[in-house]
A = this chain, B = another copy of it.
């Protein structure tokens, strides 16, 4: 059952007690999202932390020319949210959309704040969780400013083989900051080695 998967997520960090699971389970809400359905749209305030049970979401920006730029994917056991919008309650500039039929569990802000306040384990667990995401993001940014597209693509394949296998290349190109056409040329060059 989906909630157990959520509880298990915390096991490698600080496992939850029965009371904490109970409290979290009472507040968490499960939803099913269709392919191409939006979990968050531009100009909406991001009101949830979202945990992916199964499927895959993408979070992206649409620029003035209407082009999409993928900031993040979230597949099984990933958390995702526009944390800036969530905190400030200002409208988000990002979209969060399902790439596959997806099952998610969501926590609303008042519920998350309640958990933070009454059970220190959530401050701890979410601190460590975001630290890990922060480290991954730093690595990606470093690559973006220091490495050419081919190396970034190889690195993506190595780090996320399961994502690479299930995502269309257009989505991966957007994540890497290049055009689908150029990714196709990069792939061709790589296959000749």
- Residues of A at the B interface (CB closer than 8 Å) are 61, 63, 67, 69, 71, 83-84, 87, 116, 120, 123-124, 126-127, 130-131, 133-135, 137-142, 144-147, 175-177
Contact A134 B135 (CB under 8 A): no
Which of A63, A138, A177 has the most chain B CB atoms closer than 10 A to its own CB?
Answer: A138
Q: From the candidates B71, B124, B127, name the one contacting A138 in the complex (CB within 8 A).
A: B71
Contact A87 B131 (CB under 8 A): yes
Which of A130, A140, A145 has the most chain B CB atoms closer than 10 A to its own CB?
Answer: A145
Chain copies in the assembled complex = 2
Contact B123 A130 (CB under 8 A): no
Q: How far, in angstroms, from A126 to B129 measured CA to CA in the complex? A: 12
Contact B83 A146 (CB under 8 A): no
Contact B131 A69 (CB under 8 A): no
Q: How far, in angstroms, from A31 to B137 measured CA to CA in the complex? A: 29
Which of A69, A142, A144 has the most chain B CB atoms closer than 10 A to its own CB?
Answer: A142
Chain B residues, Cβ within 8 Å of A127: 123, 126-127, 130
Q: How far, in angstroms, from A130 to B124 measured CA to CA in the complex? A: 12
Q: How far, in angstroms, from A141 to B147 measured CA to CA in the complex? A: 14
Contact A137 B141 (CB under 8 A): yes
Q: A61-B142, A127-B127 are in contact. List 19 more A-B contacts (CB 8 A).
A: A63-B146, A63-B147, A67-B146, A69-B146, A83-B138, A84-B135, A87-B131, A116-B124, A120-B123, A123-B124, A126-B127, A130-B131, A133-B134, A134-B134, A134-B137, A141-B141, A144-B145, A144-B177, A145-B176
